[in-house]
Amino acid sequence: MTALITHHGDPAGLAEHTITTWREAKEIYRAKHMRQGLYDGGAVMEGVLVNLHGTEHRDRRRLENPLFRRDTLLPLRARSVP
């Protein structure tokens, strides 16, 4: 997998890195300065969780997470799946 990484949040320091191990992937996934770039831009993806960063991302996740819990989804599944 290849990732574009900004060092210390500096867009001028943008560099391409190849991720080759699970350890590297975990580190990159948890890095606060990492930004998702695949879907940036465009009206369809504007404001979508995957494109939010920092406190805006955290706050939206906290708001939406209960919607995807098992105890929330099971009753819906029982009504919609024969």
65-80 residue pLDDT tens: 999 999 998 888 888 8
For residues 20-34, one letter each, b for 16 or more C-beta atoms within 10 angstroms of the residue's C-beta and e for the rest, the string is eeeeeeeeeeeeeeb
Residues 40 and 30 in one domain: no
Count: domains in the chain: 2
Domain residue limits at 10:
1-35
Give which of 22, 28, 38, 37 is closest to 7, Cα–Cα.
28
Residues 25 and 47 in one domain: no
Residues 15 and 45 in one domain: no
pLDDT, residue 59, reads 95
pLDDT digits (tens, 9 = 90+) for 23-64: 988 988 888 777 766 666 677 878 888 888 889 989 999 999
Residue 23: HSE in the Cβ half-sphere, 13 Å Cα cutoff: 0
Residues 8 and 23 in one domain: yes
Rounded to two decimals, the pTM is: 0.56
pLDDT, residue 37, reads 66
